[in-house]
Structure 1
Amino acid sequence: MSEAFLKLKGIKKSFGGVQALKGVELEVKRGEIHALAGENGCGKSTLIKIISGVHDATEGEVFVEGKKVGKIQPIDAIHMGIQVIYQDFAVFPNLSVAENIAMNKSLLIGAKRMKWKEAKKIAVEAMDQIGAHMDPDLPVERLSVANKQMVAICRAIITDAKLLILDEPTTALTAKEVHKLNEVLRRLKEKGMAVVIVNHKLDEIYAIADTLTVLRNGETVAHGMIEEFDRERFIKALTGRSISEEYYRPEASDEEILRVEDYTRNGAFQKVCFSMNKGDVLGITGLLGSGRGEIGDALFGLAPAQGGTVWLNGEQIKINSVSEAMKAGIGYVPEDRLTQGLFLDRSIQDNTVAASIPKYLHRGRLDYTEMYRVTEDWIEKIGCNAPSPEPNIRTLSGGNAQKMVIAKWLNTDPKLLILNGPTVGVDVGSKSDIHAILHELAGKGVGVIVISDDLSELIQNCNKIVIMKNGRSSGMIRAEELDETQLAGLLSGSEEAEHEQ
């Protein structure tokens, strides 16, 4: 590898007395893929904004290509070859692929009009560089998330980027799309570009990174070549604690909690059957469009099934609405906590009691003292890092916000808790905490269903897995009987599942 393109020394940053960065050290070389890892709230985003000129460091030194740089604006960073691709990609949905790709270059050279023929040529050349294949005339709003990301990468490289920073680039991508992104990044690396990936998913980091820097509480706590970090060292650097990666394998029980037979919703799933006993954590997985998420929506009454039967704790129940599902004792943690699981402009307390308001109504008035006390209890029980029930819930990190979504439903004393993508966008420490909560619930006799496409999460934390294909369940498998490769093969159809009745 060549000399460092970017070097940071002793970077500190304070916001109103709160120290977000406490002397961060970072060195990124040309022709390397560098992973910047850390749990939510560790300072990764603040550091990126300092590198790109959005924030000024309170203290510390920044060197680009060996030269110390002072106060810079975002446009200065771009001129130095630094490009950041944030999670929303900052594309213009109503403009074409070619217009989006060529726009930055037009702005940099001070062009007053877009030259359409030249824009298309620029776009095609950029796509050729990374092996992307898109219609340059297609409006970006019609692209998949993965292709929108390719547009953002193309836009960066045509401005002679020397350092490309990607902020959580795989959050909304499928496994196949992540593989394609990695191929693109390796091409850029081979051309001598420095690439920084901000990520907290261990498996994805191991698959692509050459070097690793770990931040915790605003400080650099580990740095080195990726092969120097086994999983135990990596996790301890991220969280500051040793986290067991043992598999959840409960003792067998004959006490049935849930049985679903011939469950059907036209256009979504057909004649789905499965059951679970006390102690089970049941995983439901499948490729996009398989019907896996729709089953959760049906069981919670969001989009009710049109046929089939459901028994909960030995009693047949009807679920034609959310209110019927809640009355039956069913809770649902949705895939998108921000738009479906939380009231972002309300307090932690309001979110915690939102699904159980009748418990706090006395003679027509809400008992705010009791609501506050209960929320305090849940903050402690569920391990949420929050100062009190009062702050707006949007102030919490992703992992802590997800814990409070779960607390909201635990406060209803559910008989069945369904979680769709329970740890998406959640850091390693919070993920471990959430899994422990689910295992404890299952041990107490609460039915727990985890709907996910995270194969390692399913095998490690569920003891039974239902595989969905084209709207049908292709069998229920004991997690102990397969590994990730075998499960991936079952999803794609390259292996056959043995049905457990």
Structure 2
Amino acid sequence: MPPPLLALRGVSKSFAGVQALRHVSLAIAPGEIHCLAGENGSGKSTLIKIMSGVNQPDAGKIEIDGRIMAGLTPREAIAHGVQVIYQDFSLFGNLTVAENLALGSELRDRRRIINWRRMREHARTAASRLGVALDLEAGVDTLPTSGRQLVAIARALMADPRLLIMDEPTTALTGREVERLFTVVRDIQARGIAVLFVSHKMREMLDISERLTVIRNGEVVTAGPIADYDEAVITRAMTGSDIAEEPYRWDRGTTGGTPVLAVAHLTVEGELEDVSLDIMPGEIVGVAGLLGSGRTELALALFGMRPTYRGSISLHGRATRLANPQQAIARGIAYVPEDRLTEGLFMPASIDRNLLASSFAALSRYGLIRRRRAADAAAGMLREMAIATPTGARPVMQLSGGNQQRVVIGRWLLRHPSLLILNGPTVGVDVGSKASIHRKIRDLAGERGLAVLMISDDIPELVATCNRIAVMHRGRLVDMLAAADTSEAALADRLGALT
């Protein structure tokens, strides 16, 4: 039997006394799709860095083609065919697609003068290897997330990899984009290239991989053929406990008869057309739709970021005009954006400052912040949102994705909103944190009467967490479904029919 393409044997790694990996063994066969699963903080990123030569193990061995690699460096890993596509893609946003694709070969050949014709030819070759159409002259920063990901994959294929490591590749992709990515991954496998698919999304693991390795707290807890696993088994392995979610039940009898939000004939030129919607106190209303359906545009209009809208918006029975986010906030509307890293958080700032960012005016007197009151407010929200940190003074960038999302939600809860708009509330969040965030949203709705508008690509999330689901297509609201009468398969079929 031939040796594995890459194998780790009893690898351990610690940082400043904190054990990140403990006696981890993992083998990847040539041409297989292998999934590495684990929650945020489980050690997945450290394992990737050891495989790619960025970090050196404290103990254990790294083998490539059966040969022990002592002191593996990134250059040696690349020379042996190991390529990594990180979550941020590591692309140059100010350059074109062609320039991003060809830059590596230009640097490798130590060329000092750019030959634009040669560069475009290299880029066309990279795109053809991937088998997809790419606009080579487009600026990378103008592409959607799925487009940037394809550029990163195409660039990696230019190095003739034998093992392609994809770190959380579906974090910001829609369902349709995930299907497209999986087609690309299977095409890559058909060429004999092994793929290590790093993820915490169970359904994707079951769909794409042939073998699975799950790590928790830096240790391998289970490994084997994917056919031996289902969602419940993987969840238990990742979290150490069983996580089950009951569908949300909204009790109309416990709330008043006036909607928190009533939208009638809302229209934004080129984005929304004749959208009517209402949300009662304690309701969680989901919004489903394909890319370009108008989901995010609806959220932006309700948060005052589409001031030229036509139609009416009423809050608690009173008509209002939302011309900017400040007006929306003053009227009790909170918005948690989909991209928390660039739109929701001040990454170098402390957790406390991020929590208080929308409340400083309320916590000030004569222009001066009342520090004791601010500290108490931040500490109270840390406890309420169960944010895992020894102190709020830490930079928010040091938190896991789930804890970062709790910070963004907690910031708005300090404003005591009556309407909370969540755009992709659990994007990039592991299964344990996801369940915790869902419980918090339900508690806020059920106990405080908070009205929630939840936009999501995650069909199970919508069915389990919402009591109604609005389906959007090309800027219109085309259906309103009762979640209790809707299955995941039925909602998926409804969305699939919207082409």
| Same-fold call, TM cutoff 0.5 | yes
Deviations 1:133-190 (A, max 9, x none): 3355666556544343333323333433111101111223332222222122212223
Q: Which runs of 5+ in 1 are unaligned?
A: 496-501
Number of the residue aligned with 2:5: 5
5 Å matches for 1:331-350?
A: 331-350=334-353
Number of the residue aligned with 1:415: 418
CA deviation after TM superposition for structure 1 residue 277, in Å: 2.3
Distance 1:349 1:145, change over 3 A: closer
Cα RMSD (Å) = 2.5
CA deviation after TM superposition for structure 1 residue 125, in Å: 4.8
Number of the residue aligned with 2:202: 202
Q: 1:296 aligns with which of 295, 299, 311?
A: 299
Verify the 8 A CA contact 1:44 1:198 in the aligned structure 2.
yes
Q: Which amino acid is 1:320 matched to?
A: A
**1:473 counterpart = 2:477:** yes
Number of the residue aligned with 2:169: 169
CA deviation after TM superposition for structure 1 residue 52, in Å: 0.8
Q: What is the rounded CA distance, in whole Å, between the counterparts of 1:387 and 1:199 in structure 2? A: 27
Distance 1:459 1:76, change over 3 A: same
Distance 1:103 1:310, change over 3 A: closer
Q: Which amino acid is 2:353 matched to?
A: D
Q: Which amino acid is 2:464 matched to?
A: Q
CA deviation after TM superposition for structure 1 residue 251, in Å: 3.0
Q: What is the rounded CA distance, in whole Å, between the counterparts of 2:460 and 2:81 in structure 1? A: 37
* Range 378-387 or range 10-19, more displaced: 10-19
Q: 1:459 aligns with which of 456, 460, 463?
A: 463
Number of the residue aligned with 1:448: 452
CA deviation after TM superposition for structure 1 residue 264, in Å: 2.4
Distance 1:229 1:361, change over 3 A: same
Q: What is the rounded CA distance, in whole Å, between the counterparts of 1:15 and 1:75 in structure 2? A: 23
CA deviation after TM superposition for structure 1 residue 295, in Å: 1.6
Q: Which amino acid is 2:389 matched to?
A: A
Q: What is the rounded CA distance, in whole Å, between the counterparts of 2:97 and 2:236 in structure 1? A: 42
* Range 311-320 or range 338-347, more displaced: 311-320
Number of the residue aligned with 1:498: none
Distance 1:123 1:315, change over 3 A: closer
Number of the residue aligned with 1:385: 388
Distance 1:493 1:191, change over 3 A: closer
Q: What is the rounded CA distance, in whole Å, between the counterparts of 2:120 and 2:307 in structure 1? A: 47
Q: What is the rounded CA distance, in whole Å, between the counterparts of 1:343 and 1:27 in structure 2? A: 39
* Range 355-364 or range 19-28, more displaced: 355-364
Number of the residue aligned with 1:34: 34
5 Å matches for 1:182-331?
A: 182-253=182-253, 255=256, 256-304=259-307, 306-331=309-334
5 Å matches for 1:331-370?
A: 331-362=334-365, 364-370=367-373
Q: What is the rounded CA distance, in whole Å, between the counterparts of 1:467 and 1:286 in structure 2? A: 6
Q: What is the rounded CA distance, in whole Å, between the counterparts of 1:301 and 1:477 in structure 2? A: 27
Q: Which amino acid is 1:153 matched to?
A: I
TM-score, scaled to structure 1 = 0.91
Q: What is the rounded CA distance, in whole Å, between the counterparts of 2:400 and 2:127 in structure 1? A: 36
Q: Which amino acid is 2:491 matched to?
A: L
Verify the 8 A CA contact 1:2 1:30 in the aligned structure 2.
no
Q: Which amino acid is 2:214 matched to?
A: V
Aligned pair count reads: 495
Deviations 1:181-214 (A, max 9, x none): 2122212223322210111111211110111111
Deviations 1:414-455 (A, max 9, x none): 111111111111111111111111111111211111012222
Verify the 8 A CA contact 2:203 2:231 in the aligned structure 1.
no
TM-score, scaled to structure 2 = 0.91
Distance 1:152 1:244, change over 3 A: same
Q: Which amino acid is 1:268 matched to?
A: E
Number of the residue aligned with 1:499: none
Q: Which amino acid is 1:475 matched to?
A: D
Number of the residue aligned with 2:491: 487
Distance 1:218 1:123, change over 3 A: same
Verify the 8 A CA contact 2:168 2:197 in the aligned structure 1.
yes
Q: What is the rounded CA distance, in whole Å, between the counterparts of 2:302 and 2:443 in structure 1? A: 22
Deviations 1:217-272 (A, max 9, x none): 22222211112121111112112221113222333446333222122222321221
Q: What is the rounded CA distance, in whole Å, between the counterparts of 1:353 and 1:30 in structure 2? A: 50
Distance 1:336 1:117, change over 3 A: closer
Verify the 8 A CA contact 1:286 1:467 in the aligned structure 2.
yes
Structure 1 residue matching 2:56: 3-state secondary structure:
coil
Distance 1:494 1:346, change over 3 A: closer
Distance 1:315 1:182, change over 3 A: same
Deviations 1:29-74 (A, max 9, x none): 1121011111112221121111111111122211111111111221
Q: What is the rounded CA distance, in whole Å, between the counterparts of 2:273 and 2:146 in structure 1? A: 30
Structure 1 residue matching 2:233: 3-state secondary structure:
helix
Verify the 8 A CA contact 1:274 1:476 in the aligned structure 2.
no
Verify the 8 A CA contact 1:421 1:451 in the aligned structure 2.
yes
